[in-house]
Structure 1
Amino acid sequence: MFRSMLPVDDIAKRIANLSLEKRALLELQLQKRKGLKEPIAIIGIGCRFPGACSPKSFWQLLKNGVDAITEVPPERWDIERFYDKDPTAPGKMYCRYGGFLGHVDQFDPEFFGIAPREATYIDPQQRLLLEVIWEGLEDAGQVPSKLSGSQTGVFVGISTHDYGQLLLQSPEVVDTYTNTGVASTMAANRISYLLNFKGPSLTVDTACSSSLVAVHLACQSIWNGESTVAIAGGVNLMLTPVVTVGLSKLTALSPDGRCKAFDSRANGFVRGEGAGVIVVKPLSKALIDKDPIYAVIRGSAVNQDGRTNGLTAPNRDAQEAVLVSAYQQAGISPSDVQYVETHGTGTLLGDPIEAMALGNVLKREPSDHNSDNNSNNNPTNKPVAIGSVKSNIGHLEAAAGIASLIKVALSLKHQELLPSLHFLEPNPHIPFDQLSLRVQQQREPWLWDVIPPFAGVSSFGFGGTNAHVVLQGSPDLTKATSNDRDQNDQDQNYHLFTLSAKTATALQTLGKRYIDLIASEPSSTLADICLTSNKGRSHFNYRLALLVQSTDQLQQQLTKFTNSETIEGKIAQNSPTSPEIVFLFTGQGSQYIGMGRQLYETQPIFRATIDQCAEILQSYLEQPLLNVLYPEIFSDNSDNSTLNQTAYTQPALFALEYSLAQLWRYWGIEPTVVMGHSVGEYVAATVAGVFSLEDGLKLIAQRARLMQQLPEGGEMAVVLTNEQQVTEAIQAISASNQVSIAAINGPENIVISGESQAVQTVIARLDSQKVKSLKLPVSHAFHSALMQPMVTDFAQTLSEISLHPPQIEIISNVTGKLATAEILTTEYWCDHVLNPVKFYQSMETLYQQGYHLCVEVGPKPSLLGMGKACLPKGKLTAIPSLRPGKPDSRQMLESLASLYKHGASVDWGRFHQHNPRR
């Protein structure tokens, strides 16, 4: 009924116009309505295959039609010793070839927290899996530490035990680590243990179909609610000649080492090795999280041949049954499939059986293959394309299925069908036209308008376990957001790029890899490169942070870094982990028109917080806050006189600083302790939870209003000497009731405040002692007895609000020490109005408590310079938030880079939330 009301294309177009979140919810509703399971998104790929060490290089190999088969390398075994063209020769093999990986003996155990001695006993297949799974998680943007403790499942296919055979050649070397090192179950369990994954952890051995069965089990685990994220794949290494000799006795191998799937010359397969994994999660969750999606899994099925003509003989009926079951579970017609990545081993017996099963199930009507009616949007008018990745890299046995699936996922992502190699003349036992099948012989666009195409992947174990997985192209998420992203790229002139490693050498090596990546993929945007590096990888103690405007500049800076030249960036050698950070909140005198305006225009969190503050302040201010902060945008008046009236200065600074703090915290920068200078302490107290935002704004607005209503007059001045000399000067003129110390900003930086005549008299006396001074441009004498008339009314306001114990430590202006329960009293905040700001003593307390990494949360770095003067040289790491004259976003990125250098843990997911990867 639903289909009859709206054509499928119309439905798809309407879905495409929805937001990602709404589209995800609709997808769930439609799946439930049909009684189908939710599609599963492939969000990450990790792989090492012959001739390819990553998904990107594997794609290049496939699209260029590379044959990665070579002769057996001497480090594996002496081929001359084991080769004999006679298949019956005892202990010999008649195939000299294979698809091999390099450097399988190399492994960095310390990276994974494994003792070097234990690592020597771990099967290289397990070690390779660890590396590839880590890379797959990075590709997915899933930081392993953030998945720690989660219901992440691990499903791994593995069949061979060559390393155990090698160890048993010398029984005397067997020790504590041998059993765990070679046991197949540890291929999955060790990963779950090291990364602290709590979901199912299974090793699968169904021979050649192992890894595709692992994918099937991973999907079932997600559908059953056992796993929230799953990793599935397989591994295969050829470390001894034993299996190859055995396969030679079966005459299963191609003497010339080439897999010629579906060709009349097919004469067997060639062995290959490698490892591949995919990272998967429910499609709705992937859409909401804005994960990159290669393709989606619509369904899968596994079955068994049962009793056949022989244990290893294929069974066409069973193959047809597994296909039917997979497409039923996917909820699609087999006739909608456009491509199948076959098991395709290149045998005269196996290839026709597989082709017949495919043709019978997919049921294309024989047609003129050159008809003008053929199109990708009407697949039933075209023969189904088939191919086999074994023609490129050999038969990876336990990892064969995952290699096939990764090939299809990459093809769907890049919208291109890829050639199957070594196909010259069709196998005469396969009626291709009747079956409506064709072998994909060349690169071909695989485009679609609205509905992404369907593809299948088959894998059959030689013990009779068959698997088939149904894939579909990913919803085209980039079209809906590309304009916004392009505009974002133009607006954000600077991008933050980070790298990290566990050693300095590894950091340089990683830098070189990125240089090569940029050179090999000129179409990659700077934003995407930075997102991949920042969000998609774990962060270690050796760090590099660069602020760049183009990929060329990034490449230049990385080249300098790898050559150990001076760079315009931040480099950390073994930085501390999660350092304790201090937020310093600036006081009056730092304000200026337009402070934070660029952040207001470009950072949604900052803007939303400013707007929230403005809404709350409507009840307390005569002029709207936004008119005062950003008159160029919200009013015709650009005069700064309003902002400099204390009735507006104080709430404006509060709103700006609180919004900056929220932005820092949104990015993952959390303070361990907070401290403010005068007005800044109200923001500090709100951030710490003493006041709610509403109460904090009410309090600062009433404080400012009451001060503004006081008679103008009085003066404030900075005198550059110590507290004792100033106190003696005040006492000498017997004017302690008319002038007093308002702030102790450093060992020789004192602010005095009071009646004009008394202040001038003190200045004159100090001038005679060669003490320099500077009069401050203020409307009132703050932090002096002249504030006394407002205290009673202010106390009344304080009585109307709730105060709560701080959730973050606060250094008190009033005492210069860690705040105690007194900060929850009305008396404290009244004293705060009248008493001097003990900034110097507060900085000393920070130093004594071991804090040295300070972020000034304010419109200009006023406190950082004073803070450095309070402490021994080099004991304060000062990081500003904003700096007049420098673009806000650039300063924030520079400061974030500095924090990263010093070991801060950044929430890169949130940092990049409004700029997802294409």
Structure 2
Amino acid sequence: MDPQQRVLMEVVYDSLCAAGQPMENLKGSNTAIYVGDPTPIHRHGLVALDLAVQIVRSGKSNVAVAARTNLILSPAMYISESNLGMLSPNGRCAMWDTAADGYARGEGVAAVIVKTLSQALADNDPIECIIREVAVNQDGKTSGLTVPCNVAQTALIRDCYSRAGLDPVNNLQERPQFFHAHGTGTQAGDPQEAEAISNSLFPVGSPAAQDAENLFVGSIKTVIGHTESTAGLANVISTSLAMRNGVIPPNMHFKNLSDRVVPFFDHLKIPTSPTPWAINHGQTRRASVNSFGFGDTNAHCILEEYTQRREKVTSSINQTFAPLVFSAASELALRQMISDHLEYLKDHPDVPILDFAYTLQDRRSTLPYRKDIFAPTVKDAIVALEALGATDAETEGMNTRFKSLNGSTKLWTIHEELLASKESSRLAEGALSQPLCSAVQILLVDILRAAGITFTAVVGHSSGEIGAAYAAGILSAKDAVRIAYFRGMHAKLAASPSPNAPRGAMIAVAESPDAARVICANDFQGHLQLAAINSSFSVTLSGDEDAIDAAESLLKAKGMFARNLKVDTAYHSAHMASCADLYYDSLQKCNIQPLPQSAEAAPIWYSSVYNGGVIYQSRVTNQYWVDNMCQTVLFADALVEAVKNNGPFDIAIESIVQVLKDIFIPVPTHMIPSKLVIAGAQLIADRLLSLTSRGSTLIINEPDLIVQTAIRAKASAKTIQVVCVTSSTTNSQINQCVYLDPSSPVHVVQSLVGKCSVFVHFSRRAASDAIRDLIVANLSSSCLKITEECDLANVLEESFSDDTLDLPSVEVFDLADVTSHKAIRETLAVVDWANSQSALAMVQSIDSQPIFRSDRSYLFVGMTGELGQSLARWMITHGARFIVLTSRRPAVNARFVNDMFTRYEAVVKTVPLDITSPESLQSVLTSMAAALPPIAGVINGAIVLDDEPFANMLFE
């Protein structure tokens, strides 16, 4: 990308942020953008502003952007301008000074966001200043291309003030106090501009000429140089800043007034030090801005201070907390953003924290990489942001953020443990961690409710179900804490059924549930159990401590993510059997009473104990909490059910997104603003089978493998036979198929009579005609392959007479109609999948479409070092979730593997591979095929060196 374009885009984005205009609010809008062309002609910045003002005034656009960039990327302009004598040999802009000998080139990128005042007020936008008027004209014929004309400049200034309804010559109140001159510091331009200013604002014999008050004149070029095509916008921005601060900036390099300027300097003054911007009573701060172009185009702008500040509205609601949400386009940018805002808060300790939070949340674009903190005061925010920078947001001590969130909320006597340091914390002890975690969850629910945030559905993970029950309104806070307390107390008594009763432990593993079960059964039978299914590639194992340690070593040796959890017992394993009865008895004595739920307002609680089933008051028994402690946590199932039935939801962290990735089709929010489309395999299977009568047969044409598997898995419960059909002879997704040989179709069809069903689909024919071609007899669950070369309609007509055909009642419908189709009562339902591919397409958001697929694997050959890890990290941040790093002697970087899984739920495996050995390669490919999704890409970094001294090398 052209550096000028890249930097310009960055500056425009920063300008939108400063103007409180999130990008997502501008998508699809009538926003206008005016950018000068790439040539370094001085006028383009202010001309772009003139066009921006015109279009918002016309009503054709609500927002307009005027921008320009000027980067010095080539010496060509230096050479040509030096030849013309335009550049200063000493590299200084000495405006109107006797030493003026040309200008110094400067670099700059500028953008100005423009709205009408009424629109800005309606949108509650921050307003820097008022653009009273902009005008543009042309010099006409002069003695040279670069020679300015004071007559045209005078006419322009007068015309601009006239169009603004101002009379600076006859009315002192309507005169500017500061004039931002073009001020290049050239012998040709300075006298012409001085004469134009004098003639337009202080004409001979006018009231203004008789007044003793001087007009300050200066130029930003004496500070930053001449930014050429960006100069006009640089003048506007610097003048606006001076106006907001009430200080007229000094002119640098001014010592002696040029003799050629003296005749026009009677009512003008050049400040050489910061000067207060004084105004008379009832007067508005006003400034004129000049910008003259190479080629004789002139532009003038009148700026005024915005003084009608809005009255701050004080809410009667006691705001409980102020979440500060930071977002950026990358991790590096996020860290920089947090650092910048930390410095801002240190420099502005009096900024209202709620205003600061509002600006971050509502007046900035929301980008993919995010971090939030909770801070009731600026001081707390500074402490939290400094902690982020020091610890990279580790979770140790994270609950300190809840201290004193609201003076009316008490944290009982447990606050000491919540605020304890890492060294003194006892959170690893279940007797403390269980009630502490539940207390924090209860507090969070109360805080969110106080902020007006309600729940649609709740899902809990392990003891998190106690907090979920409270959020669902089924448990009181008192009962929730009692359940958690006795859970932790009795878990201390848990013991292994194994000889010598080793301690219990738990470990998080990046592995599929099926693979985890194999590990437990084959290597650690009776010592390890599957404790939790967190997602399709994230599980928790629980059991004897020595078995956990052995499993960790085994998995890490294979380059897999495995991390010991900080617990003192083995929840959700056989260890819990020894304390289950005691836990039940304690709950019985507590007389826990589930609360009646409101019919409408109560959130729906999806159980991670009972396969995602909905939990009502009647099901919340003492035995439920025992099962919650002892049985496997089916978190993924519960989460999927919650989203399928109550989704979509506005907020999701990365680990939850990984659970849901197979059931979501994200679409751009501006296309469907109120609903996220869900059309995943499980949902499609449920819908199809709900439309098919029990005992009938479902024939599906060209199904996707994932969908086919989901349908078959659920069809048996309704005694529905499923036949999947494909016309492709190379479709490897369909198993157990009968193939019709095109060379002898009659023979094959005759041999199949009574053995399986025949399904004919012709996409070129109408559905009513296709129905007549359906031949069904003794349907089985085999799949029938039909090649395009086979014209089975003709074959069947020749092979069988009409009286031999048994055509049951049949209906054909497209997948796109599944969600709206009425119940099917016929004995055969045919789903035309091939004509409905658009309904199956995994449509990604156009805003952030991943480069790599999350359901495929990527093999790195000869790349386990820094290069491979860096590339793998980049691929993971752009969608990849399964990476295999290989080399002959791979060095396992456990920190990198753990970091990728913790941050992105990405599985990274490191395995040995000699790419020159077919046997070694086949072994790796076989192991990948058994444990990982299909390979979508291979990145090769392996090389074979045959070194020779340079002198001995051949030319080739």
TM-score range, shorter chain: 0.3 to 0.5
TM-score of the aligned structures, taking structure 2 as reference length: 0.44
Specify which structure has the bigger relative contact order, considering alpha-carbon pairs within 8 angstroms and separated by 6 or more residues: 1
Q: Greater helix share, 1 or 2?
A: 1
TM-score of the aligned structures, taking structure 1 as reference length: 0.46
* Greater Cα radius of gyration, structure 1 or 2: 2
